[in-house]
């Protein structure tokens, strides 16, 4: 199970990666539009922080086939590391995926709402598909059913394409896709912080410290010299 940060905030990535090693970063045009600096600066700063085992997913802005391919090649050339180019699921997008695969450029098909979109992306040669969990539910779909169908279909037909689930609003949704067998998830910095937070845990920690310091002369450490 791999967990990535969905964002471009380098400070947030450093903080989270320090105590819970992340498996990479995903960005998209909307994220970069809200970030600090140019889009290129944000992507390069994130790329510099990642080690060789951590993946980076960067999305094209173009919507037409020729422009998508050209933009994908520019992004790949600009980064001195392996990168997965995010391509929206559309006729032009899937055509671009097929072309880029022939050039040895890995792609992540994004904006996936249905099982058949995921299947067609896999057949086109995508390395990843990125279903939008919360947005599927908001669009009156059932993300739990869609995710289970995608995972099972990929296994049944032997697709090498992996599922990178995106668009989460709570940890319940994350647990649900884990139960379905999804290989990877990408989460906002705020949701990543909440993965290990529970108010009862905080209460327990406070009680441990209070009990110890009241008994041992207000010391809050053991084996002091």
Distance between CA atoms of 190 and 185, rounded to whole angstroms? 14
Are 119 and 153 contacting, i.e. CB atoms less than 8 angstroms apart?
Answer: yes
Active site residue 86: yes
Q: Of residues 36, 52, 73, 86, which has the active-site annotation?
A: 86
Torsion of CA 155, 94, 61, 192, to 10 degrees: -10
Distance between CA atoms of 129 and 112, rounded to whole angstroms? 7
Q: Burial code of 213-222, b = ≥16 C-beta within 10 A, e = fewer? A: eeeeeeeeee
Distance between CA atoms of 188 and 8, rounded to whole angstroms? 10
- All residues at 6 or more sequence positions from 162 whose CB lies less than 8 Å from its CB, including other chains: 127, 128, 129, 183, 184
Please give the positions annotated as active site.
Answer: 86
């Amino acid at each position: 199970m791999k967990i990535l940060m969905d964002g471009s905030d380098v400070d947030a990535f450093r903080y989270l990666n320090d105590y819970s090693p992340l498996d990479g970063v995903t960005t998209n045009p909307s994220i970069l539009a809200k970030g600090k600096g140019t889009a290129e600066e944000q992507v390069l700063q994130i790329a510099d922080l990642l080690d060789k085992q951590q993946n980076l997913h960067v999305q094209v802005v173009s919507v037409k086939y020729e422009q998508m391919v050209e933009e994908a090649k520019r992004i790949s050339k600009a980064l001195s590391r392996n990168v997965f180019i995010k391509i929206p699921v559309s006729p032009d997008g899937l055509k671009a995926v097929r072309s880029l695969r022939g050039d040895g450029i890995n792609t992540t098909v994004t904006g996936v709402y249905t099982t058949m979109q995921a299947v067609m992306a896999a057949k086109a040669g995508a390395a990843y598909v990125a279903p939008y969990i919360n947005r599927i539910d908001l669009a009156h779909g059932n993300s739990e059913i869609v995710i289970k169908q995608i995972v099972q279909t990929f296994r049944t037909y032997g697709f090498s394409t992996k599922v990178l689930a995106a668009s989460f609003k709570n940890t319940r949704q994350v647990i649900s896709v884990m139960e379905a067998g999804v290989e990877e998830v990408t989460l906002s910095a705020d949701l990543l912080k909440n993965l290990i937070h529970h108010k009862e845990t905080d209460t327990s920690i406070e009680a441990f410290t209070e009990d110890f310091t009241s008994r041992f002369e207000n010391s809050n450490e053991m084996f002091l010299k």
